């Protein structure tokens, strides 16, 4: 939220990098008129593939946090024995195991994953602000060059 407040621009994670073919494409609407600096920033935030890749990293970090809260899968092992000599009754042996160390490590894994998610969020925010700044600098540099 503070990134949007600082930029004054909404940011969006497109789950597909395929071109937007919709008539509701906000970039298309922006490009149909003369671009203001804020419009140029909006276009960059919506269409920059590097930024979209960083958003993907954010999704991975969120998934890692969810995974860190889960215990390791238990194991189940079954053996069936049939003796060759009498008494010939079939024996079944079942073994169920849970990794207790994995259960005890859940809080530490969650803490590490939470810190990684926070780091990734800051990385995304930094890249968004850097991109917006670069676009503004380029926009005003081009405006200055055209006015000479």
Taking the C-alpha atoms of residue 145 and residue 143, their distance in angstroms, rounded to an integer, is: 5
The pLDDT-based confidence of 45 (bands split at 50, 70, 90) is confident
Contact 64, 113 (CB under 8 A): yes
Q: What percent of the chain has pLDDT over 70?
A: 82
Number of neighbours of residue 113 by Cβ within 10 angstroms: 19
| pLDDT given at position 19 | 53
| pLDDT for residue 23 is more than 50 | no
Which are the contacts of 106, defined by CB distance < 8 A and separation ≥ 6?
A: 68, 69, 70, 71
Contact 62, 78 (CB under 8 A): no
| pLDDT for residue 4 is more than 80 | no
| pLDDT for residue 114 is more than 60 | yes
| pTM for the structure as a whole | 0.66
| pLDDT given at position 43 | 86
How do residues 77-113 score in pLDDT, each as one tens digit? 999 988 777 777 788 899 999 999 999 999 999 999 9
| pLDDT for residue 25 is more than 80 | no
């Amino acid at each position: 939220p503070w990134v949007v407040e600082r930029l004054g621009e909404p940011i969006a994670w497109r789950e597909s990098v395929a071109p937007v073919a919709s008539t509701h494409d906000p970039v298309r609407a922006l490009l149909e008129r003369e671009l203001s600096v804020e419009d140029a920033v909006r276009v960059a935030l919506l269409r920059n593939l590097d930024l979209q890749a960083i958003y993907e990293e954010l999704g991975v970090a969120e998934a890692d946090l969810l995974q860190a809260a889960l215990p390791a899968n238990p194991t189940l092992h079954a053996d069936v024995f049939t003796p060759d000599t009498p008494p010939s009754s079939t024996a079944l042996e079942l073994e169920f195991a849970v990794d207790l160390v994995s259960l005890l490590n859940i809080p530490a894994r969650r803490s590490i994953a939470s810190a990684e998610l926070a780091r990734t969020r800051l990385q995304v925010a930094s890249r968004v602000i850097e991109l917006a700044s670069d676009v503004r600098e380029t926009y005003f540099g081009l405006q200055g060059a055209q006015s000479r």
